[in-house]
Structure 1
Amino acid sequence: MAPVTEPPAANTPTPDDATRRLFAGVDLDDFWDDSAYALAEYVGARPSDELVASVEAELGYRLPASYVALMRWHNGGTPRLTACPTPAEACLADDEVELTGIMGIGRDRRCSVAGEAGSRFWIEEWGYPPLGVYVADCPSAGHDMIAFDYRGCGPDGEPRVVHVDQERDYRVTVLAPDFVTFVRSLRPADDFGIA
């Protein structure tokens, strides 16, 4: 097992101009909630090119460039905006799905895409369909997940972001055509009456 590295401090440097342009319309300065839980479970050190390549090789998919850019600024964590509107009925409500955290790129943090509770864990231990990379968890403690779905684009393409509901026979609901659109769609949970 690799040694656990310290996560970035709560005073993470601001994102670079390219990341700001990519996520135009998103308040990146107030995007993450660096709680003690998020720092311990999700937030890893900034991923190097070598780490990104080795995680992609392990998972069998090229990670979206927009996701890699966001993780190079702040590698995983709990966003302040946790509700994603849905086009169809989802797990928690008819009009939204809530997420707990976005997994970072790495193996050191429990909740990173190649970590102990990463993508392969959900496929191998919970029977989630092998449609791509499970990248975000939900407050249901494993009964629904958010994933990059590569079924329509192949392992090197631009995946859509989907919600997979284990309680409904692993029903897949498309949340966004890509990761940038998904991030831009996040809203405060109280917009949907979630406390």
Structure 2
Amino acid sequence: MTELFEDSDYYTGPQVDWDMIRVAEKDLGVRLPRGYIEMLLVRNGGTPRRRCCPTTFPTSWADDHFEISGIRGIGGPWGIDSSSGLGSSYLIKEWGYPEIGVVFCDTPSAGHDTVMFDYSECGPEGEPAVAYVDEDRVPRRVASSFDEFISMLFDDNVTDASMA
């Protein structure tokens, strides 16, 4: 999982333990995805090496993909559970994102679009899908799980998502 991230510690939170995970889940009102928790235990968020996700629909970013700039962890100022004004609950209210789950990625647009865990089909105890939310605030499923989402990411130097 460490190969997922660049060496930079930007977006990286403090070392995670199970108590922190349980508190974050309670604060957010959801069970976090298994693959995401596994990532947190190795590295608590960061800047991914591969940052583009292919789509079957046009986005405000490109005709066939969008870019992320960071995957948020828990705790610290960048945590999805943060009360610093950068946490998921704040971002949902501030940017008018749909209340389908948890914002867990940052994008280069700095709020105009985002990536969320989507609990709308599975409920708060289920394994959420991953949805992209563009400027129109319509959630569009891009992956059935966090693990699938991570496996789909491709290098931003590749301009055609089909070449990834």
Same fold per superposition (TM over 0.5): yes
CA distance in 2, matches of 1:154, 1:54: 19
Match of 1:57 in 2: 26
8 Å Cα contact 1:96/1:192 also seen in 2 = no
What does residue 105 of structure 2 align with? 136
Letter in 1 for 2:3: D
| Rg (Cα) greater in structure | 1
Paired positions, count? 159
In structure 2, distance between residues paired with 1:171 and 1:34:
34
Q: Which residue of 1 aligns with 2:114?
A: 145
- Specify the code of the residue in structure 2 equivalent to 1:154: G
Q: Is the 8 A contact 2:72 2:80 kept in 1?
A: yes
The whole-number CA distance in structure 1 between the counterparts of 2:14 and 2:105 is: 18
Deviating above 4 A after TM superposition, structure 1's stretches of 4 or more consecutive aligned residues are: none
1:100 to 55, 65, 69: 69
Query: Would the alpha carbon gap of residues 185 and 58 (structure 1) be closer, same or farther in structure 2, given more than 3 Å must change?
Result: same
Q: Tell me, in whole angstroms, the C-alpha distance in 2 between the residues paired with 1:65 and 1:90.
A: 28
Partner of residue 188 from structure 1, selected from 133, 155, 160:
155
Q: Matches of 1:71 and 1:121 in 2, distance apart?
A: 21
In structure 1, stretches of 5+ residues that fail to align are: 1-27
When normalised by structure 1's length, the TM-score is 0.77
Alignment partner of 1:77 out of 30, 39, 46: 46
Identity percentage over the alignment? Answer: 40
Q: Distance in 1 between matches of 2:95 and 2:73?
A: 20
What's the offset of the Cα at 1:188? 0.4
Distance 1:172 1:55 in 2: 23
* 1:32 equivalent in structure 2: 5
Supply the RMSD in Å over aligned alpha carbons: 1.5
If the length of structure 2 is used for normalisation, what is the TM-score?
0.91
